[in-house]
Amino acid sequence: MGNADYVYPSTNEYCQCAHPVAVPPPQPFFKSFKNSLKETFFPDDPLRQFKNKTPSRKFFLGLQYFLPILEWGPRYTFQFLKSDLISGITIASLAIPQGISYAKLANLPPILGLYSSFIPPLIYAMMGSSRDLAVGTVAVASLLIGSMLGDEVNATENPALYLHLAFTATFFAGLLQASLGLLRLGFIVDFLSHATIVGFMGGAATVVILQQLKGILGLQHFTQSTDIISVLRSVFSQIHEWRWESGVLGAVFLFFLLLSRYFSKKRPKFFWISAMAPLTTVILGSLLVYLTHAEKHGVDVIGNLKKGLNPPSFGDFVFTSPYLTTAVKTGMITGIIALAEGIAVGRSFAMFKHYSIDGNKEMVAIGTMNIVGSCFSCYLTTGPFSRSAVNFNAGCKTAMSNVVMAIAVMFTLLFLTPLFHYTPLVVLSAIIISAMLGLIDYEAAIHLWKVDKFDFVVCMGAYIGVVFASVEVGLVIAVAISVLRLLLFVARPKTFVLGNLPNSTIYRSVEQYPTTNDVPGILILQIDAPIYFANSSYLRERISRWIDEEEDKLKSTGETSLQYVIFNMSAVGNIDTSGISMLEEVKKITDRRGLKLVLANPGAEVMKKLNKSKFIETIGKEWIYLTVGEAVEACNYKLHTCKPDATNEDSQPWNSV
């Protein structure tokens, strides 16, 4: 035994085989502090691989940690290149129309969507640890940038300032993302639970689809708000402005896109049909407009796109008030949301291909690509689900497919931009709607309802908040409900009575196991959460009520009166000083009623604190047992040999609060 001084010897006379409950050996404060810091921030022990290595090897491993390309690059084969080439070209064909569409959603010049598919994928290819993530802009973050920056600066009245604010916001988003990764605070993203993301994505998709009514119906004036009521009012108040040419064109293309998606879903082999469909609609739409001159009959087109690669934009950052606050706020919120999507997508595909990605490393990669991107006329990028799924289905092997996409986009920027002059906006709207419909995951919501009602409430809170108020409100509602749930778990822990499973020394919840038998004269309670300040008052009330109810029950049936109360502490992970006070009060209450308080199986942390606060001496160390079975055995032994000594130790003079 490690340190015999701190382990109580067995003092139970009745039975030499009972096991003593150990107080863990004390640790120096700084050692235990270091350990908990390590568990909190480095649960994955990233320095593990550096052990017992030479300094130069350590340096190389460190470089590899931040640039995974150094790891997979040397092992890259021609086979890989072939697969990456195909998938890279496939995602480029999706990236070009999507990039232009999402830039319009953010009220930014369409060309920015192409710029953003050129530089960031190159950075990610070097730094990212996912093999399947395809980098690009996303609808939700684009919409958010549009609505948050739009509150401060009008994009049509002051396009230059608006553009510069978008770069600044992207810069801060990247800064936040990289810092979270470097500071190992990645767990903040975990607070966006699965249920939150389902509701939030569905709500955001609904909002984005509603926004497309402007493009589909060819409306010139439209509300700045994103909530469903404002948008529908805006649409139906100008029925006379609807353009039927635009509407028909949009409906036809949307039908085509949905059909191709449906077909690809039925036959996964033909994934490329749905992947190529957006580019096809763009080409068909542009041709149609070019041939019919529909741009002169109410069908809006993209117009001129500047030829050439990304111009530098690091001189454009706006660091002056009052715009700085808006930029920082927009950057923070969109940065977190983009990060959550990127990491969730990366993790899902990694799980599927049996490799694992490091959340903190991914954050540094995504953050760096946004910082660099913001210096070269890109706005916020991450790993969108749709594009990454296409990448995955196209058989990509490494992040090289991002490089292929970037080269394809570069080629487009250098030579092909004039071809988009006649692309009708309504086609872009159809592309967005078709992509967004896939994000409304009503099946997941039904699953949540079936499995966990609370998660369903979180999900619907996010959805309703996003659709009826705004994207930020929805997010705040969902996170607040989720955190409230955690707090409620601690504030209102389950307590339940245990009974004896027939022919065993096992004690389990009477509710879960209806075959269990009561133990005469003994009440066994299990507390199912740590005992903290937030629940100590509740637990005191609830325990008193359990004892009252048990005594009433025994009185009505005329059975043996209650003599012992055993707390099963197995599930009590920790206790604080308020919790210890609660136990002291419960001890007084039971003493007064002539009951004996017994503890079963307190864990290491709990024993340590009970020892330091002298509660072990108050209760008597002979009343702490290793298992409920041993505690019951000891109580039964004493019950049948002598009455418990109901000491009245609580008549000490009052000294302080």
Site for a second copy in 13-42 (CB under 8 A): 19, 22, 24, 29, 33, 39-40
> Residue 248, interface with a second copy (CB under 8 A)?
no
> Residue 493, interface with a second copy (CB under 8 A)?
yes
Of the two residues 58 and 485, which places its CB atom closer to a second copy in the complex?
A: 485
Of the two residues 14 and 489, which places its CB atom closer to a second copy in the complex?
A: 489
Question: In the set 63, 182, 486, 646, which binds a second copy (CB under 8 A)?
Answer: 486
The residues in 357-376 that bind a second copy, with binding defined as CB under 8 A, are: 359
Query: Between 500 and 529, how does the x/- string for binding to a second copy read (CB under 8 A)?
Result: -x--x-x-xx-xxxxx------------xx
Question: In the set 58, 184, 421, 492, which binds a second copy (CB under 8 A)?
Answer: 492
Residue pair 282/427 in contact by the 8 Å Cβ criterion: yes
The residues in 196-235 that bind a second copy, with binding defined as CB under 8 A, are: 196
**Plot region of 614 (φ>0 → left; ψ -120 to 50 → alpha; else → beta):** left
Q: How far is the CB of 456 from a second copy (least distance, A)?
A: 9
Of the two residues 56 and 556, which places its CB atom closer to a second copy in the complex?
A: 556
Question: In the set 487, 559, 617, 620, which binds a second copy (CB under 8 A)?
Answer: 487
Residue pair 624/21 in contact by the 8 Å Cβ criterion: yes
* CA dist 132 → 121, 343, 375, 386 (Å): 12, 12, 26, 12
Query: Between 306 and 335, how does the x/- string for binding to a second copy read (CB under 8 A)?
Result: ------------------------------
Q: How far is the CB of 593 from a second copy (least distance, A)?
A: 10
Q: How far is the CB of 261 from a second copy (least distance, A)?
A: 13
Query: What is the separation of C-alpha 228 from the centre of its chain, rounded to a whole number of angstroms?
Result: 26
Of the two residues 573 and 644, which places its CB atom closer to a second copy in the complex?
A: 573
Please give the radius of gyration of the chain, using alpha carbons only, rounded to the nearest integer.
32
Residue pair 165/326 in contact by the 8 Å Cβ criterion: yes
What is the number of other CB atoms lying within 10 angstroms of the CB of residue 530?
A: 20
Nearest to 209 by CA among 114, 110, 285, 140: 140
Q: How many residues at the interface with a second copy, by CB under 8 A? A: 107
> Residue 65, interface with a second copy (CB under 8 A)?
no
Name the DSSP letter for residue 24. Answer: P
Residue with tokens 């409950």: 21
The interaxial angle of helices 604-612 and 577-592, nearest 10 deg, is 70
For 5, phi then psi, to 5°, come to -60, -30
Residue pair 436/385 in contact by the 8 Å Cβ criterion: no
> Residue 356, interface with a second copy (CB under 8 A)?
yes
Of the two residues 320 and 652, which places its CB atom closer to a second copy in the complex?
A: 652
Q: How far is the CB of 295 from a second copy (least distance, A)?
A: 38
Nearest-5° Cα angle at 378, 372 to 379: 105
> Residue 452, interface with a second copy (CB under 8 A)?
yes
With contacts defined by CB under 8 A, name the span among 58-66, 86-94, 570-578, 632-640 that binds a second copy.
570-578
Question: In the set 268, 312, 322, 558, which binds a second copy (CB under 8 A)?
Answer: 268
Nearest to 136 by CA among 420, 386, 348, 305: 386
Of the two residues 19 and 293, which places its CB atom closer to a second copy in the complex?
A: 19
Question: In the set 245, 441, 550, 622, which binds a second copy (CB under 8 A)?
Answer: 441
For 274, phi then psi, to 5°, come to -70, -30
Distance, CA of 250 to CA of 524 (rounded, Å)? 68
The residues in 573-632 that bind a second copy, with binding defined as CB under 8 A, are: 573-574, 576-578, 580-581, 585, 588, 592, 603-605, 607, 609, 612-613, 626-627
Name the DSSP letter for residue 414. Answer: I
Q: How far is the CB of 303 from a second copy (least distance, A)?
A: 36
Nearest to 419 by CA among 562, 300, 290: 290
Question: In the set 124, 323, 532, 623, which binds a second copy (CB under 8 A)?
Answer: 532
The residues in 131-190 that bind a second copy, with binding defined as CB under 8 A, are: 187, 190
Nearest to 173 by CA among 470, 471, 374, 472: 374
Question: In the set 15, 183, 488, 646, which binds a second copy (CB under 8 A)?
Answer: 488
Residues in the chain: 657
Nearest to 379 by CA among 316, 325, 448: 316
